[in-house]
Amino acid sequence: MSIINLDEIWKFINGNFHNLDEEGKKENASKVRQIAATTGGIACAIPNVPFADFFIITPIQALMVRAIGNIYGYKINESTAAEILTVIGGGWLGQQALLAAFRIGLPGAGGLIGSIFVYGWTYGMGKAAEVYFASNMTASKEDLKKAREKGVKEGEAIYKKSQSQDAEFKKRIKGMQGQGFTKNQIIYALWNVTNNDGDEYRTSESEYNRLLEE
């Protein structure tokens, strides 16, 4: 999974999207979901501190709501975002408790995988948020539930695919290192960027470093 700076989401919270058509709004909302879900999944890897998730993952989800709201023309503050989370999240507080149970290893929670759970859950809430704002905040509970559940499955599939891709990239990096390739040569071979490509190179270098650390 890519490590994405959460600051990126502020571009969506503060940006101007008034001229976007519906397809453009959906495209940007998708980017926000991926940023929030990825960051939430990474946050879940923090050493076990039961219920700390409420203070880490919930703010990420609130930022996601504010960003998707802004894309659809709604300026949402922190307080309102928290209220909307309870509307779109279904059994949101129950999920927080379930995640905490997973983190401390309570019976019945051991079948969950923390990061994929958080990724899918956050992605699903992002789907529900998009439906909510696209409907001018009139979507029914049933519509929100369907969007959320569909999003969870979609998010989990994206997570699993990214993990498979990570394993392949790690294998290729190790193989190229064994053949004496330098870091820059490997980055160019895998991501097609050089150290003259600015932000694109820095993003690829971060991915390279992350894959070696894991």
One-letter amino acid at 115 equals S
Percent of the residues in the chain that have a pLDDT greater than 90, as a whole number: 37
Predicted TM-score (pTM) above 0.85: no
Query: In this model, does residue 103 exceed pLDDT 70?
Result: no
Going by pLDDT thresholds of 50, 70 and 90, the confidence category of residue 98 is: low
Start-to-end Cα distance in the chain: 11
pLDDT at position 97 is 54
pLDDT at position 100 is 57
Task: Name the residue with higher pLDDT: 25 or 3.
Answer: 25
Going by pLDDT thresholds of 50, 70 and 90, the confidence category of residue 107 is: very low
pLDDT at position 63 is 94
Going by pLDDT thresholds of 50, 70 and 90, the confidence category of residue 114 is: low
- Distance between CA atoms of 33 and 14, rounded to whole angstroms? 16
Query: pLDDT tens digits, residue range 20-55?
Result: 999 999 999 999 999 999 888 777 665 554 544 556
Query: In this model, does residue 127 exceed pLDDT 90?
Result: yes
Which among 89, 108, 83, 84 has a CA at the least distance from the CA of 98? 108
pLDDT (mean) for 141-168: 88
Mean pLDDT, the chain, as a whole number?
Answer: 81
pLDDT (mean) for 93-121: 59
Query: In this model, does residue 115 exceed pLDDT 90?
Result: no
Least confident of 1-10, 100-109, 117-126: 100-109
Residue 203 burial (C-beta neighbours within 10 Å; 0-12, 13-18, 19+): middle
- Which parts of 44-91 fold into alpha helices (H)? 53-71, 78-88
Query: In this model, does residue 4 exceed pLDDT 60?
Result: no
Query: In this model, does residue 134 exceed pLDDT 90?
Result: yes
